Amino acid sequence: MSLAQAVYGQFRKPHGLLGRLAGAIMAARGSNRQRNAWTIELLDLRPDDRFLEIGYGPGLSLALAAGTITEGAIVGIDHSGTMHRAATVRNAEAIRSGRVTLMTGGLELLDGLDEPFTKVMSANVVQFWEDTAAAFEQIASVMAPGGTVATTYQPRHRGATAADAETMAARITGWMRTAGFSDVRTERLPLHPMPVISVLGTKD
Ligand SMILES: C[S@@+](CC[C@H](N)C(=O)[O-])C[C@H]1O[C@@H](n2cnc3c(N)ncnc32)[C@H](O)[C@@H]1O
């Protein structure tokens, strides 16, 4: 296995030295920064939103959300302790002031959160969930009626094609509808080296 493959293999759950390297790549890579910024734009955040990000990685979107959400709450969950440390450094001031709360763990943490959330997002995390249908049910259960969920995905695996983005969009659409989200729509960002999709839905 090459070093590059070893680092990319870390994206599911970064840990150790290679995990820190993977986190640094996520934080610096233009396409990653753009798809996070675009997802935040799509969510049209308000100062009093209660925002949840699943799989925050190095914490790029949390930092952007903290620029707008001044009266609500910002919560992130990620099962990587390595990413918890990276996101803590990036969001140090907002954490100190109590505006951002970071948690280490997976979707099982959703049961214990202080809900409901008005905006929920994930960016390049959906492909790692083992029971994706159940994941969207869990997400719906912690959202306020009228709240918006955005699930963003850019295929980055070896041999990825633009069609992979569309295939994932169709699958996410199905999972969201089954979980009871309405007005489910797909937005597209024509980014290099692959297009990005974000599927948005409204909690009934
Ligand atoms: C490819 S990275 C994307 C990070 C971030 N969303 C971004 O766009 O910069 C995937 C992240 O999701 C986290 N992750 C994957 N599966 C998860 C799960 N089931 N629960 C919580 N975090 C998860 C990983 O630890 C990793 O930090």
Give residue-wise pLDDT tens across range 71-100: 999 999 999 999 999 999 999 999 999 999
How far does residue 145's CA lie from ligand 1's centre (Å)?
A: 26
pLDDT band at 139 (very low <50, low <70, confident <90, very high): very high
pLDDT digits (tens, 9 = 90+) for 140-196: 999 999 999 999 999 988 889 999 999 999 999 999 999 999 999 999 999 988 999
- pLDDT tier at 66, thresholds 50, 70, 90: very high
Question: Which atom belonging to ligand 1 lies closest to the Cα atom of 130?
Answer: 19
CA nearest ligand 1 atom 12, residue: 55
Burial 41-68 (b: 16+ CB within 10 A, else e): ebbebeeebbbbbbbbbbbbbbbbbbeb
pLDDT band, residue 48 (cuts 50/70/90): very high
170 touches 180 (CB < 8 A): no
- Ligand 1, residues 75, 79, 127, 197: which to mutate, most atoms within 8 A of Cβ? 79
Task: Give the residue extent of every domain in the chain.
Answer: 30-203
**pLDDT score recorded for residue 88:** 98
Q: Among 34-43, 45-54, 118-127, 154-163, name the one with the lowest average pLDDT.
A: 154-163
Across the chain, what does the average pLDDT equal? Answer: 95
The CA-based dihedral angle spanning residues 126, 10, 43, 68, taken in that order and rounded to the nearest 10 degrees: 150
pLDDT at 42: 98
pLDDT of 57 reads: 97
- Yes or no: say if 189 and 196 are a contact pair by the CB < 8 Å rule: yes
Pocket test for ligand 1, best of 35, 78, 88 (most atoms within 8 A of CB): 78
Q: Which atom of ligand 1 is nearest to the CA of 58?
A: 9
CA angle 93, 116, 131 (to 5 degrees): 95
Strand 181-189 relative to strand 196-203: parallel, antiparallel, unpaired? Answer: antiparallel
What is the number of the ligand 1 atom nearest to the C-alpha of 53? 6
What is the predicted pLDDT for the residue at 165? 97
CA 178 / ligand 1 centre spacing (Å): 23
Residue 83: name the closest of 42, 124, 117 by CA. Answer: 124
Protein residue with its CA nearest to atom 23 in ligand 1: 55
> What confidence score (pLDDT) does residue 191 get?
93
The whole-number pLDDT of residue 1 equals 76
Distance set, CA 55 to CA 77, 81, 125, 145, 164 (Å): 6, 11, 6, 23, 21
Spatial separation of the C-alpha atoms in residues 53 and 181, rounded to whole Å: 18
pTM of the entire predicted model: 0.96
**CATH number 3.40.50.150 is the correct assignment for the domain at 30-203:** yes
Ligand 1 neighbours by CB, cut-off 6 Å: 11-14, 26, 32, 36, 54-58, 60, 77-80, 83, 106-107, 123-125, 128-129
Distance CA 114, CA 146 (A): 18
**Ligand 1 centroid to residue 54 C-alpha, Å:** 7
What is the distance between the alpha carbons of residues 198 and 153, in angstroms, rounded to a whole number? Answer: 6
Position 124 confidence tier, pLDDT thresholds 50, 70, 90: very high
Cα-based distances in Å from 56 to 39, 122, 185: 13, 7, 23
